[in-house]
Amino acid sequence: MTRLIFLGPPGAGKGTQAKAIAHYRNIAHISTGDILRQAMKEQTPLGIKAQNYVDRGELVPDQLMEDLVLHRLSQPDTISGWILDGFPRTVNQACFLEQLLQKLEQHGEKVVNLEVPDDVVVARLLERGRKDDTEEVIRRRLEVYRSETAPLIDYYSDRQQLLMVNGNQSQEEVTTALTKVIA
């Protein structure tokens, strides 16, 4: 059973790698950023609430994200496994997820941290050119990553769930390294 949480700064390649591994293992790829972008496009109540935060590079409030993940992890396509890409992003969200997985009787999730140096991350994000990839918003997203999300590295390392992968290699090399550590 493959249950994976992908950590790493914005631009680490989480989305690309999560998609590749999910495809290869035939499991659900759950990108909270993708779900939010879709909701914003469709102007659903969630999308309308989230827009302002996403545009500024701030985190969407935990409660909204937790409802979203509760709903998504309760869908039948997650039964054969999943990759969470972009959640959790705060220690609060990680505590919530731990309890949710207990309730759903899903165990053995592993956490992969994609390590990429700061300058590489910024260059990749500028190249990507998404709507929230302007220089100012990128800077804010990195600040938020450092203060809110990076503490999760210790959180999962303390729980002996953390696997480290060098994300500063070609896409194929990262996929190969990932496949090895999660085997």
Contacts with ligand AMP, residue ranges (CB under 6 A): 10, 32-33, 36, 53-54, 57-60, 65, 86-87, 89, 93, 141
Q: Which residue number, 93 or 113, has a Cβ lying nearer to ligand AMP?
A: 93
- Shortest Cβ 123–ligand AMP spacing (Å): 16
CB atoms within 10 A of CB 131: 10
Q: Which residue number, 87 or 165, has a Cβ lying nearer to ligand AMP?
A: 87
- Shortest Cβ 157–ligand AMP spacing (Å): 19
Two structure tokens written together for 121: 């991350």
CA torsion through residues 120, 123, 128, 132, sign: positive
**DSSP one-letter code for 58:** P
Q: Which residue number, 135 or 176, has a Cβ lying nearer to ligand AMP?
A: 135
- Shortest Cβ 111–ligand AMP spacing (Å): 14
Give the residue ranges of DSSP H helices in 42-128.
45-56, 62-73, 91-103, 118-128
As beta bridge partners, residue 81 has: 2
- Shortest Cβ 16–ligand AMP spacing (Å): 12
